[in-house]
Amino acid sequence: MPAPSIVWFRRDLRLADHPALQAAVRRGGAVVPLFIWAPAEEKPWPPGAASRGWLQHSLAHLDRTLRRRGAALLVRQGRSAEVLRAVLRETGADAVFWNRLYEPAARRRDGRVAAALRRQGVTVETFNAGLLWEPDDILNGQGRPFQVFTPFWRQCEVRVPAPPLPAPKIILGVERVNVPATFGAECVNNPEATGTVTGSAPEEVASRWAAAWQPGEAGAQARLREFLAGSAADYPRRRDQPALPGTSRLSPQLHFGELSPRQVWHAVQAAAGGWRRAAGAFRRQLAWREFAHHLLWHFPHTPEQPLRAAYARFPWRRDASALRAWQRGQTGFPLVDAGMRELAQTGWMHNRVRMVVASFLVKDLLLPWTAGARWFWETLVDADLANNTLGWQWAAGCGADAAPYFRVFNPVLQGRKCDPAGDYVRRWVPELARLDARWIHRPWQAPAAALQCAGVVLGRTYPRPIVDHAAARLRALDAFYRM
DNA sequence: TGAAATGTTGGGGCG
DNA sequence: ACGCCCCAACATTTC
């Protein structure tokens, strides 16, 4: 009987399409599924408050599904290298398998850990389970990484990712070596981000959260099936309407690896008999995720520094009260405020609205994109360093394939286009709920009678706009033009 | 994955 | 019938 193998779970919290787990099971010995809570090793981007909440639930779910197949999840805190050494000793294991991560800090850490283990004679094997294609698989004609999405996408379109692996039926566990550490207090679902912003009671936040999300592999599979059976066929038309459930909402599951992109890709392919165009549009979004990871791999300084170096000197403003108004959804622009409140209350925001609020922070308020990235990092359940970095640098115009400097979203027009009836605003900004659709995206222009009959008192029940968008746009054009 | 400013066209009112 | 103007609708350019 071979010695036990450790499977080091990180952001692959599933059993299906899990090459590291598969390798351990195939070896024939016992399997030790291990999760190590070591946020300091991911500095300067340790998991934010919303991510920690999701992670806690997802780990509990993973433990339950592993137990059903024979092996409980061991959760430890401490430095990864030391924890691995200790668990190797305690279990008599002689091999460690894991699926690769692509963030700079995790890469460095994993490289050191692998080298140290191998020096001690431990077998280490790592796998790709998080991306359709790894960062060095897709390069341009000169062997360099793509920096523009469209040619990158053309390369993706002609490839078929590897088919997903099945989940192992039985996992041979080891005797419980000792009681697994309970997940640390610092990792408990932390409503700090939502609580301070909304003033809601923790129980209320928790119940709203539970209604919105079902972390874990089973919930992820259910969400995927629901999407494929429901709005997927109409994806191109519905995906830009934040009031509708038109998107897959699989971003947190993809971030934590409760589903792999290969599973999603192939499931879409198999389901899309009658809607090939929609399938292509959806695959394109998966490709944006790939693109983001490729960029982070090849340009690891970009979470902190603009890809276009000239932007390091951009004269961002410092304005704590404007930043706070944005964070709390009190800017006076209903679409922006609705998005920021959806984020605070559910840990998620519709992608179209993310672009609008990002443009508002960066262009209308001239506040640094890094401040927006940090807030999203703390509050999003799907906070993902690669996606977050690409998104914010795109909005600020300082990244790859970035929005040109003159592209400034108008929150009123975006509202009219994407939320014509105002339902999204009504849901998240209830103080405007009774306002006529005509004025819901620009209450400051509504006639006094319309405001009165909707019970809106500008400056009291809902803020006046904190900037004049037309003037702010000109200010931004001037500042960005100088770059 | 924008929006505003500017240019062009064509229908209709009107003298 | 005709030219003129107005202006909405659409296209193009510009930021």
- Asked if A346 and A231 sit in the same domain, the reply is no
A470 touches strand C (CB under 7 A): no
Tell me how far apart the alpha carbons of residues A428 and A43 are, in angstroms, rounded to a whole number.
Answer: 33
In a domain, A83, yes or no: yes
A403 touches strand B (CB under 7 A): yes
In a domain, A418, yes or no: yes
- Asked if A348 and A466 sit in the same domain, the reply is yes
- Asked if A252 and A323 sit in the same domain, the reply is no
In terms of Cα–Cα distance, which of A391, A393, A398, A387 is closest to A102?
Answer: A387
What does chain A come to in residues? 483
- Asked if A289 and A330 sit in the same domain, the reply is no
Q: The domain that contains A317 carries what CATH number?
A: 1.10.579.10
- Asked if A327 and A367 sit in the same domain, the reply is yes
pLDDT at site A187: 42
In a domain, A444, yes or no: yes
With 0-12 / 13-18 / 19 or more C-beta atoms within 10 angstroms meaning exposed / middle / buried, residue A136 is: exposed
- Asked if A265 and A348 sit in the same domain, the reply is no
The CA–C1' separation of A118 and C11, in angstroms, is: 66
In a domain, A382, yes or no: yes
Residues A375-413 pLDDT 10s: 999 999 999 999 999 999 999 999 988 889 999 999 999
The CA–C1' separation of A14 and C12, in angstroms, is: 52
Q: Name the β-bridge partners of A31.
A: A5
- Asked if A278 and A336 sit in the same domain, the reply is no
Tell me how far apart the alpha carbons of residues A454 and A457 are, in angstroms, rounded to a whole number.
Answer: 9
> Which domain, by its residues, includes A358?
309-482
For chain A residues 438-477, those near strand B by a CB cutoff of 7 A are 469-470, 473
Residues A349 and A366 sit within 8 Å (Cβ to Cβ)? no
The CA–C1' separation of A364 and C15, in angstroms, is: 15
Side-chain-facing half-sphere of A320: CA atoms under 13 Å: 0
Q: Which of A104, A129, A154 is the last residue of a domain?
A: A129
Q: The domain that contains A67 carries what CATH number?
A: 3.40.50.620
pLDDT at site A176: 63
Tell me how far apart the alpha carbons of residues A386 and A292 are, in angstroms, rounded to a whole number.
Answer: 5
Ranges of residues in chain A with a pLDDT under 50 are 179-195
- Asked if A358 and A332 sit in the same domain, the reply is yes
The CA–C1' separation of A233 and C2, in angstroms, is: 56
Nucleotides of B under 7 A from a protein CB: 1-4
- Asked if A233 and A322 sit in the same domain, the reply is no
In a domain, A171, yes or no: no
In a domain, A362, yes or no: yes
pLDDT at site A203: 81
- Asked if A137 and A256 sit in the same domain, the reply is yes
pLDDT at site A206: 79
Peptide linkage before A180 cis (omega within 30 of 0): no
The CA–C1' separation of A405 and B6, in angstroms, is: 21
Q: What would the 3-class secondary structure string for chain A be?
A: CCCCEEEEECCCCCCCCCHHHHHHHHHCCCEEEEEEECHHHHCCCCCCHHHHHHHHHHHHHHHHHHHHHCCCCEEEECCHHHHHHHHHHHHCCCEEEEECCCCHHHHHHHHHHHHHHHHCCCEEEEECCCCCCCCCCCCCCCCCCCCCHHHHHHHHHCCCCCCCCCCCCCCCCCCCCCCCCCCCHHHCCCCHHHHHHHCCCHHHHHHHHHHHCCCCHHHHHHHHHHHHHCHHHHHHHHCCCCCCCCCCCCHHHHHHCCCCHHHHHHHHHHHCCCCHHHHHHHHHHHHHHHHHHHHHHHCCCCCCCCCCHHHHHCCCCCCHHHHHHHHHCCCCCHHHHHHHHHHHHHCCCCHHHHHHHHHHHHHHCCCCHHHHHHHHHHHCCCCCHHHHHHHHHHHHCCCCCCCCCCCCCCHHHHHHHHCCCCHHHHHHCHHHCCCCCCCCCCHHHCCHHHHHHHCCCECCCECCCCCCHHHHHHHHHHHHHHC
- Asked if A117 and A137 sit in the same domain, the reply is no
Residues A254 and A264 sit within 8 Å (Cβ to Cβ)? yes
Q: Which of A247, A273, A298 is the last residue of a domain?
A: A298
Residues A272 and A279 sit within 8 Å (Cβ to Cβ)? yes
The total domain count for chain A is 3
Tell me how far apart the alpha carbons of residues A215 and A81 are, in angstroms, rounded to a whole number.
Answer: 28
pLDDT at site A197: 55
Cα dihedral A18, A19, A20, A26 sign? positive
A477 touches strand C (CB under 7 A): yes
Q: Which of A237, A270, A298 is the last residue of a domain?
A: A298
Residues A38 and A79 sit within 8 Å (Cβ to Cβ)? yes
Q: What is the reported pTM?
A: 0.95
- Asked if A331 and A352 sit in the same domain, the reply is yes
The CA–C1' separation of A449 and B2, in angstroms, is: 32
